Amino acid sequence: MRSSELDALIDEVGIVTASARRHVAGVLFTYRCTIQCRHCCFGCRTDLPDAVMTPLQLAGVLALLHETGRVVHVAGGEAMMYWDHLSEGIRLAHLEGNAPYFIETNCSFATDDAIVERRLGFLADHGLRGVLASSDPYHQEWVPPERFLRVREWTIRRFGEQNFYGSKAAAEDIMALPQVTADEERLRQHVRSHPPVMVGTAGRKLAQYLDRRAPDDPALPKAGWRLQRDLPGCLEQFASEPMWELHVDPYGNIQTNCGIILGNTATITPAQLLAQGPEHANRFVERLCAEGPLGLARLAHDEYGFEMPESVTQGCELCFLVRHHLRQSHPHIFGPTEVYA
């Protein structure tokens, strides 16, 4: 059940500020997407299996996520591509007082005003408080920028400025975004000045633009994630309080943004996992939290025959290579297939 206290906070400060204060818990409704961004850390794309939550499953997972006290939302892949499932799941959740607070979209659905008005109206009538809309050079390689602008305009109109989660850049700057990926040199400069996390599709498509260093070089960038705290290893990604995001996917897997399964809703709830300490979910996560990706690489080398690469661009890229290797013996931890394919 949604907490009235969090509802009141969102009434006061909106979903963006509330998310910064409480952090978020998201439904990965599907790994499939309408597009295939070069920077996608989950490897979402168009040609993945048609695995999506049922409406009942969505309503059940939303109820579990609200127990965490975080700002609950629905993400993907692109959840909007299964609108019938999504809207029915939200309707069921709303009946029980469990509607999500916002939904994430890449805006590909926003082909005209009528569909945006209709869908946002449905969401508002069923308890949602806002929308997160993506825009950057990678999304706008695929999604016409005017669709983002349309979602932004209608979200602000329907939910108010403080409940639009996304870029406030001038329209002309949004319209110019496709120029970045269309020009190899501009793309290179963009990747170097704003390096994404080199896992999933990003590791395959964008690592070529970054400098390479030996895995044990102290100058190797630790991670692409925006780190807020000075904690050892990857503890910030896994400890309950600093962890930015916890997800549940269509298979019931509970994970952070790192593609490492910490539990499954068949045996543990997200709130129980957070209470137990996700940093102790298994020995691989414990090693990451204590020693970072190099520690995991050494463990995999010593015990599972992982061959240390000569060079990588980021600690996170090293981590992804190690996880690929460990997945052979531990697919229930380093999964699901969509993330590693």
Q: Are 134 and 154 in contact (CB under 8 A)?
A: no
Cβ at position 262, least distance to ligand SF4 in Å: 11
Nearer to ligand SF4, 92 or 312 (CB): 312
- Phi, psi of 31, deg, nearest 5: -90, -15
Which positions touch ligand SF4 (CB under 6 A)?
Answer: 33, 35-37, 40, 44, 76-78, 106, 134, 139, 199, 223, 225, 234, 237, 258, 288, 293, 315-316, 319
273: enclosing H helix or E strand? helix 270-276
Nearer to ligand SF4, 17 or 36 (CB): 36
Cβ at position 234, least distance to ligand SF4 in Å: 3
d(CA 131, CA 54): 22
Nearer to ligand SF4, 9 or 51 (CB): 51
**What are the residues whose beta carbons fall under 8 Å from the beta carbon of 108, sequence distance 6 or more?**
34, 35, 78, 80, 81, 142, 143, 147
Cβ at position 64, least distance to ligand SF4 in Å: 22
Chain centroid to Cα 238, Å, comes to 14
Cβ at position 130, least distance to ligand SF4 in Å: 18
Cβ at position 134, least distance to ligand SF4 in Å: 6
User: Hey, is 206 helix, strand or coil?
Assistant: coil
- Diameter over CA atoms, the chain: 59
d(CA 138, CA 118): 27
Nearer to ligand SF4, 130 or 203 (CB): 203
Cβ at position 106, least distance to ligand SF4 in Å: 4
Nearer to ligand SF4, 37 or 246 (CB): 37
Nearer to ligand SF4, 86 or 199 (CB): 199
**Which bin fits 153, alpha (ψ -120 to 50), beta or left (φ > 0)?**
alpha
Residue 243: name the closest of 263, 260, 228 by CA: 228
Nearer to ligand SF4, 10 or 37 (CB): 37
Q: Please report the DSSP string for 50-114 in residue order.
A: --B--HHHHHHHHHHHHTTTSEEEEESS-GGGGHHHHHHHHHHHHHTT---SEEEE-STT-SSHH
d(CA 82, CA 162): 27
Cβ at position 12, least distance to ligand SF4 in Å: 29
Nearer to ligand SF4, 28 or 120 (CB): 28
Cβ at position 170, least distance to ligand SF4 in Å: 22
